[in-house]
């Protein structure tokens, strides 16, 4: 940073400190009043007991475990029967009374725990995936104070909502056919669900290959977002024509407030464009996009294993003679069989012995080669080069938009530089001047 810019930032901070002196005094006074009132308040926060802390830790551990159990129980195999029969075979008959046991545990919890605590923990576990995505991950990123992670999360959110309809439809079709394949014994249904599952998996692979060569929807969103705001509310940035030609000294209080408000929004727009542009450039240099590629490939691998696991299980239910097995296989064995075939390590307790079941292995091998092709295109030349070019265009586009707003401010408000605009906001004690200065500090 040049000496002139340092002096200017020092001047801004000095003026800002002067502006905040009275505010700090008011805040301290208010805090003192709140502390005094809280000591006698019926709703004052009480320090957590040791049991309360232990309870919170247990809920944090149990919430993900319960959701993992539910997922495995519904979509993979009967995990509780498997564990009991494997490690506690003498208690296998107890599972017949599973509902009564769970009802008894619920009654015991209700007796020993306050209603408020129970309801809070119950809804926390019930909505744990949403809480984790909407609050847990953003809070973790906030604690890390990393804009690289923040933009990685923002990009994921943009991608999700841009493909929301497709994601919901595909997920619904996949889960319905998956569950029908696992629990149905009707041959017609099993044949139909098998074809649909392979079709859905094919669509996922095709979309992923198309994404390698198509422009990124995320980057398009950045380029459209700021200009859309400027176009949607142009009056929020421009001066009222009735006061545009008047000297500021002749304006009344209402007119001055309107001028400062619009100037503040114009400066904020400029600062936000340049801020996002700079942070995206840092995000590009971090190479965190490789993590996104890795996650997408891992999800495709999981989808492939699950799909062919349930396809082979459906074929087995249609005709046991399609497979040779040393022991009668359970549902989980077919997922293990699918995973092993994908990585060319077939298990020895089950094997395909007919053209139909062997054809399933051939199709899975084709998807394996498609995965390899995606790996090469994502991590090497094609996708990586396209990603860099597109992100550079976004950075340049946002910088250009910020510069365009700066020129607009100079012309519209008859100011020499953007520094003059910020100085005027400081002198007027604009409500969002702290945000403006924070953006400015993180841009320079």
pLDDT tens digits for range 278-336 = 888 887 777 676 777 778 888 899 999 999 999 999 999 999 999 999 888 888 889 99
Task: Indicate if the pLDDT at residue 29 is higher than 50.
Answer: no
285 in a structural domain? yes
Give me 281's structure tokens.
Answer: 């450039």
Q: What is the per-residue pLDDT for 80?
A: 76
319: domain range? Answer: 217-237+251-443
416 in a structural domain? yes
Give the number of domains in the chain. Answer: 2
Give me 152's structure tokens.
Answer: 């990685």
Residue 420 and residue 332 in one domain: yes
Q: What is the pLDDT of residues 138-193, one digit of tens each?
A: 788 778 777 777 877 887 778 778 888 898 999 999 999 998 998 898 999 999 99
Residue 228 and residue 137 in one domain: no
Residue 306 and residue 400 in one domain: yes
Average pLDDT taken over every residue of the chain: 79
Residue 385 and residue 282 in one domain: yes
Residue 406 and residue 271 in one domain: yes
426 in a structural domain? yes
Residue 141 and residue 225 in one domain: no
**Single pTM value for the model:** 0.65
Residue 98 and residue 222 in one domain: no
User: Highest mean pLDDT: which of 39-43, 247-251, 420-424?
Assistant: 420-424
- Interval 197-203 mean pLDDT: 95
193 in a structural domain? no
pLDDT, greater one: 431 or 322: 322
CA distance 61 to 64: 6
Are 337 and 347 in contact, with CB atoms under 8 Å apart?
Answer: yes
76 in a structural domain? yes
- Interval 25-34 mean pLDDT: 42
In order of 193, 202, 305, 432, the CA distances from 175 in angstroms are 10, 16, 14, 48
310 in a structural domain? yes
């Amino acid at each position: 940073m040049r000496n002139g810019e340092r002096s200017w930032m020092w001047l801004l901070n000095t003026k800002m400190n002067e502006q905040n002196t009275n505010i700090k005094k008011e805040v301290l006074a208010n805090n003192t009043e709140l502390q005094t009132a809280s000591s006698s308040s019926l709703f004052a926060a009480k320090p957590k007991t040791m049991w309360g802390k232990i309870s919170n830790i247990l809920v944090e551990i149990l919430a993900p475990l319960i959701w993992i159990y539910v997922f495995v129980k519904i979509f993979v195999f009967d995990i509780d029967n498997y564990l009991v029969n494997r490690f506690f075979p003498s208690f296998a008959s107890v599972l017949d009374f599973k509902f009564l046991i769970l009802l008894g545990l619920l009654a015991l919890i209700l007796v020993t725990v306050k209603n408020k605590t129970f309801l809070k923990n119950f809804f926390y576990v019930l909505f744990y995936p949403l809480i984790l995505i909407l609050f847990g991950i953003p809070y973790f990123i906030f604690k890390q104070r990393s804009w690289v992670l923040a933009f990685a999360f923002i990009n994921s959110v943009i991608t999700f909502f841009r493909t929301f309809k497709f994601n919901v439809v595909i997920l619904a079709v996949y889960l319905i056919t998956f569950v029908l394949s696992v629990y149905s014994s009707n041959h017609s249904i099993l044949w139909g669900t098998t074809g649909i599952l392979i079709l859905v998996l094919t669509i996922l692979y095709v979309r992923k290959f198309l994404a390698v060569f198509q422009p990124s929807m995320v980057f398009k969103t950045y380029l459209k977002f700021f200009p859309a705001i400027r176009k949607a509310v142009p009056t929020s940035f421009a001066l009222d024509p009735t006061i545009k030609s008047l000297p500021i000294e002749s304006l009344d209080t209402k007119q001055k407030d309107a001028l400062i408000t619009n100037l503040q929004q114009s400066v904020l727009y400029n600062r936000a464009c340049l801020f996002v542009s700079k942070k995206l450039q840092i995000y590009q240099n971090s190479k965190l996009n490789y993590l996104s590629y890795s996650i997408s490939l891992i999800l495709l691998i999981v989808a492939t294993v699950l799909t062919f696991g349930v396809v082979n299980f459906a074929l087995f239910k249609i005709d046991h003679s399609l497979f040779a097995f040393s022991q009668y296989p359970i549902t989980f064995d077919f997922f293990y069989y699918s995973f092993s075939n994908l990585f060319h390590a077939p298990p020895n307790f089950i094997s395909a012995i007919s053209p139909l079941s062997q054809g399933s292995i051939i199709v899975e091998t084709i998807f394996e080669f498609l995965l390899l092709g995606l790996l090469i295109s994502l991590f090497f030349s094609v996708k990586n080069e396209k990603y860099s070019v597109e992100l550079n265009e976004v950075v340049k586009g946002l910088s250009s938009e910020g510069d365009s707003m700066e020129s607009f401010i100079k012309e519209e408000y008859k100011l020499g530089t953007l520094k003059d605009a910020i100085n005027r906001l400081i002198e007027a004690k604009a409500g969002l001047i702290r945000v403006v200065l924070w953006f400015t500090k993180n841009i320079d």
